Amino acid sequence: MSNLDVVAVGELNPDLILGGLPGLPRLGREILAGRCTFTLGSSTALCAANLAALGLRVGFVGKVGDDLFGEFILRSLHERRIDASRVIRDPTVRTGVTVSLACPQDRAMVTFPGAMASLRAEEVDWEYVRQARHLHLSSPFLQEGLRPGCATLLREAKERGLTVSLDPGWDPKEQWDAGIERLYPWLDVLNEGEAVALGRQAEWRDAAADLAGRVSAVVVKHGREGASAIQQGAWFDRAGFSVEAMDPTGAGDAFNAGFLFGWLSGWPMHDCLTWGNACGALTAAHPGGSGAFCHREDVEAFIRSRQGS
């Protein structure tokens, strides 16, 4: 594949999603799930899958084990029209997996990192990456092998003419450091839902404004309430779309895809947020973090139906 729009670099794992739960389980007790889905997971891959569904040419750089889960991941990327020629199969590690316990309002996740923790920045094929115009990275807190080289990775991308986006994701250790501040100078877009933790301030607008002093555009996801962005000191807010939530897994990653699709198309910030909200809402109403829409037209139709036009 040549002339890529986006190269995604990051973690790869399947998701085992247990939905329709009456609540979260307690030790020593058993509850029943109403739904079970085994599907493509990981924040980076879900964003990539939804970008491809919107019609962008997407490639992936990552690592899986030489096992059944790794085979499932490669097949899933192929089915979603993502070039996986630079995904490394390493027989010395096992492919990771996430178990997601999905309630309508939110979800809890348990992750075995496996191969996602072993990808290193020096394993990235730069002749491949330079074919793209944008680099997207998610979940550096989960990627221990990649973290030391993340700043170099993003700087190289910028120096080669790519734009760069990052979704930090959740920090399982809840320390919110791991060198992430060294990444800010190389970012064009910071998509995140943890502004307070990253900005280290009690109010999310203050935290996002502080981050915006170091990143060109900071986008804050509010889940079903919508999203906000700050760029060059100007605030933009868009309300979310009301849907009957089935599974929130991957909704934030679908938001990233919708937002980046608009941003890479040169759209106004309000339109980027609208598309992010629409992709997130469609995904929350669908089991799994991808497959809620298959074409750009699906999202356009959803937005028109909600805007009365």
Cβ 216 vs Cβ 202: under 8 Å: no
Q: Which has the minimum average pLDDT: 17-21, 42-46, 85-89, 159-163?
A: 17-21
Go through 290-299 and write b for each residue having 16 or more CB atoms within 10 A of its CB, e for each that does not: bbbbeeeebb
Q: What is the DSSP string of the chain?
A: --S-SEEEES--EEEEEEES-SS---TT-----SEEEEEEE-HHHHHHHHHHHTT--EEEEEEEESSHHHHHHHHHHHHTTEEEEEEEEETTSPEEEEEEEEETTEEEEEEEEEGGGT--GGGS-HHHHTT-SEEEEE-GGG-TTTGGGHHHHHHHHHHTT-EEEEE----TTS---TTGGGGGGG-SEEEES-HHHHHTSSSHHHHHHHHHTTSSEEEEE-GGGEEEEEETTEEEEEE------S--TTHHHHHHHHHHHHHHTT--HHHHHHHHHHHHHHHHTSSSSS-S-SSHHHHHHHHHHHHT-
Contacts of 197 (CB under 8 A, 6+ apart): 171, 174, 176
Residue 124 pLDDT: 95
Binned at pLDDT 50, 70 and 90, residue 309 comes out as very low
Residues comprising the chain, all counted: 309
Query: Is residue 244 over pLDDT 50?
Result: yes
* C-alpha separations of 89 from 73, 86, 237 in Å: 11, 9, 42
What band does 80 get if pLDDT is binned at 50, 70 and 90?
very high
Task: Take residue 303 and report the two structure tokens written for it.
Answer: 């937005």
Percent of the chain residues past pLDDT 90, beyond the cut: 74
Q: Tell me the mean pLDDT in the region 268-294.
A: 95
Domains within the chain, CATH numbers bracketed = 6-307 (3.40.1190.20)
Q: With a cut of 70, say whether residue 131 has pLDDT above it.
A: yes
Could you identify the residue written with the tokens 């085979």? 71
The DSSP string of 79-116 is HTTEEEEEEEEETTSPEEEEEEEEETTEEEEEEEEEGG
Q: Which of 123, 140, 175, 108 is nearest to 11 (CA)?
A: 140
The answer on pLDDT for 278 being more than 80 is yes
Other CB atoms closer than 10 Å to residue 31's CB: what's the count?
A: 12
Q: Across all residues in the chain, what is the average pLDDT? A: 92
- What is the arithmetic mean of pLDDT over 219-228? 93
Residue range 88-94: average pLDDT? 97
pLDDT at 1: 46
Predicted local confidence at residue 107, as pLDDT: 78
Instruction: Give the Å distances, CA to CA, from 5 to 38, 131, 258.
Output: 28, 8, 14
